[in-house]
């Protein structure tokens, strides 16, 4: 005589051996889980692309500011430096872009041999004003 638990185990085992496919509910649940996973991955991909674009804009703006700063610091006579504003320039400083580069020259030390240079690059991205600011003192001739 078989124990009742062994009878139940054999019955379940036979039932599982006879099952040949997935039920409609199992397929629906699997599709739901897959859909949620796919949506999550696609949202992460979109966010990653947006952040990559913003990082690219910051890099371009920084290069615009650095180019201007180096040109002004290499000027031989710092007393000839003047303020300037360049609107609607691209990443190469050419017309037709989204950037505005402002250069401000001050003499906070009061001498004739040094100047403070502040280069600010501004642009609007996704409805927000963004900017990169570089500041340096110079004596001219790259110093």
Question: Residue 60: is its pLDDT beyond 70?
Answer: yes
Which residues constitute the domain of residue 101?
4-138
For the whole prediction, is pTM greater than 0.75? no
Q: Indicate the number of domains in the chain.
A: 1
For residue 143, is it within any domain? no
Task: Give the position of tokens 């280069």.
Answer: 119
Asked, for residue 116, whether it belongs to a domain, the answer is yes
132 — pLDDT class (breaks 50, 70, 90): very high
> Is residue 20 domain-resident?
yes
Residue with tokens 């629906």: 28
Separation of alpha carbons 26 and 19, rounded Å: 13
Closest Cα to residue 106, out of 72, 130, 64, 67? 72
Tokens of residue 8, six digits = 């139940």
User: Which has the closest alpha carbon to 119: 74, 84, 95?
Assistant: 84
| 84-89, strands of its sheet edge to edge | 84-89, 99-106, 115-125, 128-138
Backbone φ/ψ region at 47: left (φ over 0), alpha (ψ -120 to 50), beta: alpha
User: Mean pLDDT score of the chain, rounded to an integer?
Assistant: 88
């Amino acid at each position: 005589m078989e124990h009742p638990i062994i009878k139940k185990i054999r019955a379940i085992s036979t039932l599982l051996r006879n099952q040949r496919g997935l039920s409609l509910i199992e397929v629906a649940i699997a599709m739901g889980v897959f859909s949620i996973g796919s949506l999550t991955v696609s949202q992460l991909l979109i966010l990653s692309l947006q952040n990559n674009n913003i990082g690219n804009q910051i890099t371009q703006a920084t290069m615009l500011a650095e180019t201007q700063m180096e040109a002004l610091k290499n000027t031989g006579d710092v007393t000839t430096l003047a303020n300037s504003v360049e609107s609607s320039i691209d990443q190469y400083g050419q017309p037709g872009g989204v950037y505005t580069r402002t250069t401000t020259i001050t003499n906070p030390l009061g001498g004739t041999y040094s100047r403070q240079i502040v280069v600010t690059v501004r642009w609007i991205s996704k409805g927000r004003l963004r900017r990169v600011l570089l500041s340096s003192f110079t004596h001219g001739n790259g110093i």
